[in-house]
Amino acid sequence: MKIKDRFRVAFNAFINPKKRVKQVIKLKEKEPSKVYDNQLLADKNILITGAGKNIGKSIAIEMGKQGGNIYFMDKDKERCQQLELELENYSVKYKGFVFDINNTQKIDSLISFFQENNINIDILVNNVGINNDKKGIKQIDLQDWEKIFNTNVFKPIYLTQKIVEMMINNQQGGAIIFITSIHQAVIFRKLIYSASKAALAMIIKELAMDLAPYNIRVNGIAPGWVVEDKEKNLYYHQYTHLHQSSINPCYIGRSAVYLASDYFSHFTTGAVITIDGGLSLYNYLVNPS
């Protein structure tokens, strides 16, 4: 970005600090075809929550490219249908399930579906999560805590418990991935969201120790600002020092492939990979006045 463009963006942010400036950055993404030929997840059965858009969708596509059979859930029917259409491009099995993760009866029915069809889930990706605009303790109430923790923590753990039971009973081992956030450790000024992600960070470590004897690996990914426009262009972000932009969702998907693949991560458990372009490293000393 040219100096005059950066000055204009900084000046606009100064005169209107409450408005988030989004300047599109067009990047040419390099996708070597050899990467797709590795089939790192061939014949693996994968379950992904919240797969209808952004990070969850990219995880589904990147894992599909690597030969994994993709089973996914999202509460939006149209998004599920669109993802199924995109997964047709790969020689894998796939099926979308339309329901909210907060519906435990639907989760039980999903588990029954897998058991009745002799589908053993090898990889579980707990991606689903929600946020809200309430920041401080004065704005929030018990219902806000229940809503966010149910979606971000409690129901994913319920699903994880059911999948783990299947893995242990089948003596197959497996991999579990939680999509957390840099705000598990970095202030976000959104109390409940950050607290829920901090809870996941410790759950990953505890589960990693608990499930290691069963050859089940548990890891996480902590993304920064992940967003792109409809043309897959990124947005300018001055505090993300590497590339000074938002992050393409596909890079979170590829990191999930890394953690799911025994080839790369056979000895990796209890780890959380930070993918934020350096955003979590930023503080007031980085650009002293």
Contact between 63 and 260 (Cβ < 8 Å)? yes
Please determine, for residue 7, whether its predicted confidence score (pLDDT) is greater than 90: no
Which of 13-22, 87-96, 225-234 reaches the highest mean pLDDT?
87-96
Q: What is the pLDDT of residue 231?
A: 86
Contact between 227 and 288 (Cβ < 8 Å)? no
80-134: per-residue pLDDT in tens? Answer: 999 999 999 999 999 999 999 999 999 999 999 999 999 999 999 999 999 877 6
230-255: per-residue pLDDT in tens? Answer: 888 999 999 999 999 999 999 999 99
Mean pLDDT score of the chain: 89
Please determine, for residue 135, whether its predicted confidence score (pLDDT) is greater than 90: no
Q: What is the pLDDT of residue 71?
A: 98
The model carries a pTM of 0.88
Average pLDDT value for residue range 56-65? 97
CATH class of the domain comprising 39-281:
alpha beta
Question: Domain locations in the chain?
Answer: 39-281
Contact between 124 and 157 (Cβ < 8 Å)? no
169-205: per-residue pLDDT in tens? Answer: 999 899 999 999 999 888 888 889 999 999 999 999 9
Q: What is the pLDDT of residue 38?
A: 82
